[in-house]
Amino acid sequence: MGISNIDQFKKITLEKEATRNYTEFTKAVDVLDSLGSNDKMLTNIDNMRLKLGGLLETGVIGTDSFEHQLLVSAIDQAVKIQFKTKKSLDDIAEFYHTYNNFRDISMRLGGGN
């Protein structure tokens, strides 16, 4: 293979790889965008509220406890993100990190998954 053939091969390989990378990226963005839909976010917020209610109802936490404040703060943060009309990928990631933090705290308290 001559030098020009090697350069041509590299160019074609790079083009294919770049196209594949971009295709993977657009698929990931589509998934993240769907996770940022109001319906999906509201489902998670409803789940958070239900878990908080269960912890209160069973007496695991009281309304004056530090854990209650943490859980309510997480719900408030999730609602603020959900309420945005335009959500960035960072907003969507922050929402699910907030949801995960809520889950971690509630599971530590005995709230299940």
pLDDT (mean) for 11-24: 88
Above 60 in pLDDT, residue 27?
yes
SS3 of residue 23 by DSSP: helix
Q: What percent of the chain has pLDDT over 90?
A: 70
Predicted pLDDT at 14: 86
Helices 66-83, 38-57: inter-axial angle, 10-degree rounding = 160
Predicted pLDDT at 81: 97
Tell me the C-alpha distance between 9 and 14, whole Å: 9
**Predicted TM-score of the model (pTM):** 0.80
